[in-house]
Amino acid sequence: MTARHAARVTLVVFLFITVQQTLMLQLRIGAAHPDIMILLPVAAGIVGGPGRGATMGFWSGLVADLFLPTPFGLSALVGCLVGFAVGLATIPLDRTSWWLPMTTAVLASIAYLATYALLGSILGEPQMLHVDLTRIVVVVSVVNFVLAVPATRMVGWALPEVSTEGMPLSTAGLR
């Protein structure tokens, strides 16, 4: 990844965490608020495959963890797992399909939140399984459904293009 792409990825992550902390935390439906940070590993998995999804999930999760009272690294771990899984699951699919980002965002949001609550409970936060998880899943999934296409385009702009062999296009012909 070039310095230019690293700067773009940093800009996208900064934009997402800023919107999350300023706008999304204020937007409450019941006791739940949207979590758009989940969209970063999802979009990276769709755009760049399992490796890029896992990497984006790890780093964006670490940034999100700076603002959360849960065990540090939990968002990074779950983001890494979800980004990898999304990238792996979308390999055989047409990644240019109009429905893929929205459908994947909903399914990945459900998986992310369930995994987050389960691992959080295992790591000493048992109240994570006792909250109204259904309401949280619905709110997060609906907002992520709506924002999936713009998020995927932003992450696609930030990440360098990858050939079918998984190598950056600039080095794909050098083998």
Cα→Cα distances 20→7, 14, 67, 131, 147, Å: 20, 10, 10, 21, 12
| 107-152 pLDDT tens trace | 999 999 999 999 999 998 888 887 788 999 999 999 999 999 999 9
Residue 143 lies in domain: 3-156
70 domain residue, yes or no: yes
132 domain residue, yes or no: yes
Please, what is the angle between helix 133-158 and helix 39-48, to 10°? 40
| 6-49 pLDDT tens trace | 999 999 999 999 999 999 999 998 889 999 999 999 999 999 99
Structural domains in the chain (count): 1
CATH of the domain at 123: 1.10.1760
64 domain residue, yes or no: yes
Say if CB 155 and CB 43 are below 8 A apart.
yes
168 domain residue, yes or no: no
162 domain residue, yes or no: no
What is the torsional sign of CA 57, 32, 20, 99? positive
163 domain residue, yes or no: no
| 40-83 pLDDT tens trace | 999 999 999 999 999 999 999 999 999 998 899 999 999 999 99
175 domain residue, yes or no: no
Helices within 90-128 (DSSP H only): 100-122
Q: Distance between alpha carbon 6 and the CA centroid of its chain, in Å?
A: 17
169 domain residue, yes or no: no
